[in-house]
Structure 1
Amino acid sequence: MFLRIDYLVLAITNENMLKKILSIFITVAFIANSYSQSGCPGCNIDNTCQKTRDVTICPPALPDACFNAPYSEDLTFYVPKDMDYQGTAITLGSIQLVSITNVPAGMSWELNDPSGLYSVTAPAIRGCIKICGTPTVFGTFYITVTVNANVTSPISTSRTQSFTLPLIVKNCGGGNPFFSYNTNVGCDTLGVDFEGLYSAAAPKQTEFEWDFGNGTTGTGKTPAKVMYSQPDTYLVTLNTKFYDLTLDSVTATVTGDWFCGDIEEPNYPIVGCTGLPDPQFKFTSGNATMSASYKSDTRTAKWSASDLLQSGKPFRLKDQANVIKFEDYDPTSANDDGGTTALLISAPGIYTYTTNSPNGGGVSGSIYIGKTLDTVYSFTDTVFVNPLPPATVINYIPDTVLCGNNEVVLSVYDGYRYTWYKNDTSVIPLEVDSFYTIAGDPYIVIDTISTIRVEISDTVTGCIQKTENISVRQMPPIPGFIEYSGIYQSDATTIVAEQGYNYQWLLDGLPIAGADSFLFNPPVDGNYSCIFTNASGCVDTSNVVAFVVSGIGEIKDFSNLVQVMPNPSNGSLTLYVASSEAETMRVSIYNNMGQELRNEIVTRTGNSFKKFFDLQNFAAGNYVFHLNLNGQSATKRFMIAK
């Protein structure tokens, strides 16, 4: 694609400039065949967006969108009326949006000028495009935008161009109030990272029980990545369980005689402490206190779960910071103080403690903390693994080797969206069908191999099937002049072919055995032609020479009567033909690619034809005069050297 301005002999061909001018409109490509859609009002123009004598857009590219997530972006474009390129001043008149195709579903956009026509006034214009919506498919979308640009200087001209711009719609993850995932939609196979979100405040315990819907289960807040190995719809369930910590049992061993000296356990001189303690305790957690009954006359005691019930239920911890206080129960006198200690309890398990009595000694032992289910929250979400479009290979008709103007049609099955690539990474603009036609290049001079592949996209799921590359070889063709002047009769016995090829001579269209030289002596009258094959394997068939063995008078080719003077020349030359057989002669000039450059009638002067040609505007190279005179033909090569 290019912007071409013809100004006298000045030719400016600049694809990048037009792309720069028009690229500001590519990003509006979120709906086909209209200028705007409602639903994206309030576009804010960035008045700081500008660039000296150049087009720019702010920000310079669209950010990625997220599948099934709201998207909104304001884009400001700045277009100066006058700009420079390689010393040439270009004046822009207007830009018109023509059409937009191949956009992701769920998106809409709005221009600050709903008409889509922007007249570029001095010194510059700014416009705004708001893009918004919620894409309902994911993948890479090659949006195609067609725009018409009008240039008013150096001359008035316009050009319609189409461009492609990738917009990536990613699966950015999601979730629900109870668990999140990095993705829940994929193609063919999918790996998903899950995370539980809802946890109870300490000292409550939280446990996560996962059923991933694919025959596997898991535990923990962040289980290992879960693999879904085939297309299907999977129901993922998380049971989030909250547990209370409970006081399940306590053991105690009393040390020292801190309980002695009262009526119940008297302390006599010489005899000392008599009697045994009656240990009991109070366990405080937050604002709740549990008082355990005493154990009679023992230095070692154990309170089981049934001893520790409160209103018939296990005692539930309210805090991680807890206190246990021991006493010796005395029914008549005041209880004796066995000491107090703090306990930090964060999970089920066995916790040891030691208290110190003010009277010496104390109590040591273990506390057994269990858990009791409090609440279960169950939530189910869905993972979608969609199938890829069917695997396939690229078909071709007729061949992947091209010569001259031949073409090959590459194709796959119908019913999807298609993006064709050349040499693996370059998107081929405007090729969005299930087939792609490659035309041979008649001007190619060396073998060229291109690799072609296609991405087949499901428009509903966004899943993409990628084909393998197929190689297409374009080879230098047989020059076009071979078809009309590749062979000629040089004398009464010989037909000569253009040299530098492999040959197969034909008589009346049928191969002649052993006739494979550039010189051929026909044995009989007939219509002779030749198949030319070049070093690349390209093939073409020459013109036909009607050969008569009977003698010189029947020669149909009069090339020996033709002169070009001077040869080589700078383009100023004279064609001379020594013949008086007709009043007029048709003269055609061809280049080495077989393109006809000039065609005119020359009138005989006296007994010959003489014509001066001014070809100084021709490029240096080899050319051919092709002459038709009274049913006869002749060719004459000449060279222009500069």
Structure 2
Amino acid sequence: MLHIAPLRSLLPFALLFALASAKAQCPGCAPDLSCTISPAFPTLCPETAPDATVGVFYEQDFTFWMPANFTDPGSGFDVTLLQLTVTGVSGLPFGLSFTTNSPDGVYYPQDNEFGCARICGTPFGAGEFPITVSVVAQVTASGITLDVPTSFPITLTVLSGSGGNTSFSFAPTSGCGSVTANFQALIDGSPSPTAYAWDFGNGSTSTLAQPPAQTFSPDGTYQVTLQTTIGGYVLQTVTLTGVNGNWCGDVEEPDLPIIGCSGTPDPYFVLTNAGGGAYTSSAFTDVSTGQWTNLGLLLDNPPYSISFYDEDVISGDDLLGTYNIPLSSEGTYFLNVAGGTTGSMEITNEPQQVFNDTAAIVVYPLPSVVLVENGTTSELCATDLTLTSFTWLLDGQVVANETGPCLLPSGPGVWQVVGFNGFGCSDTSNAIVVCPVFSIAQNGNVLFVPSGYVSYAWTFNGASIGENTAFVFLQGDGSYGVTVDAGNGCIITLSFLWDTTNMPDAEAEAVRMEVFPVPSDGLFNVVADGLRSPWVSIEVLDLSGRLLHTDRAQVVQGRLQAALALRLAAGTYSIRIVDGDRILARRAVAR
């Protein structure tokens, strides 16, 4: 068998071709026609790629010169470079792409001695990346045309970035009291097997590219780590358990009359990838079985086929069968081809690149806001005076211009305060109910309290009187009382003593009418007793006698109870009831 030493001096531009053929995402390069040297020899400008940086977009153009004829300094032969074919490349950093002006990976220096390539992309991980390039150079030396397969190692350096995380994204990054965050892995090595190992720092782990939402509590800093492993299927062992008879009948193993096949085969195998690149094993001598171990052949350019041969030095090697590998997972692949060639292959999944990244989830502490009331001054104060700001609420609504830790309530209702700490986290305090303060008022023959509360219960000398209203008519001398449910748990009980013993007698009016409160903010209660008509008119006049408002109201058992909501300018008015041929009037004051 004839063995030709590799033309190692072809490495610079062969490497560039191989890298460029890996992916095609960076078009637009233009060759630099000044990229030549003397004496003529294949040249790459620049000779090495500048370093890349993690997380930073990288773009670099290269020019290569392929002289059609040159002298190989290693052997001294005059070489004619006819064709160069890229058959495979492995070990490329993820995130970088390469494009040349020959997309099929085949170059003909006899037609064009210049080419170019552009390298671009954003690398995911830092480190020194060993790249293996496989090419076949077709050359003519000393009148002999040879196809010379060879492989070349090179290291591409990717520097660490200044920050950021290229392995995964997540949101939100921080919060108050508790944080529920969503995560997404960003590196996908498909079609290479890709594995994820999350540790969220909260006791949970995951192996998914998009894990379930994670909750972080209590407050503190949680370190989230992700290890992304890009694997590769690796052919480790090939076992040949039997062969067919195709090896028999040539010069080395003749098929003799009567005797039959003489000798035994010398088996070896050839592993071929999608680009035509091939690995040729060593050959066993005079055996029908064999096992090749510790191969470590990365299957990163599928599909693959494996062909078994009988090595014959003189007559030419005999093909014993070809098996197309259905590469889908690690494990044992059994083969039985070409009528008797049998065996198996052991394929493992081995890590090719590993990326480790860490990020922090920060959970800030929530304040604990407690609201207390000063029993002497009725002032409300938040107990934690280290809080940075405050928002006061009355019945759930923001109180304008109140931002301090203490407040004197301006009126009844449910009071609360929202306190903020230095992290911007807030807590709403407990509620303190401030009950309204009022007393029973008298206007003529009517006793009344403010209207609009939940319920009213009046008594006269301990006996229930009246309805669920904010007023009653005087029944005579005695003790009056009212219990008002003002809401929010406020139950207000009031009393009023009416005694006319020392007052001059006056004939009780047959018809009684009152308007209250005096003064009023616009809501006037009009009550009357002893009316004759089932319906009456209520009129509002100004002091000039001009009619401003009129309404009709129903009388029930001689009693009228009406509420007028009027928008009146501050001043004195007259409200009158027209009861048939009778007119009753009272003074009203708007403020």
User: How does the TM-score come out when normalised to structure 1?
Assistant: 0.44
User: How does the TM-score come out when normalised to structure 2?
Assistant: 0.48
Radius of gyration: which is bigger? 2
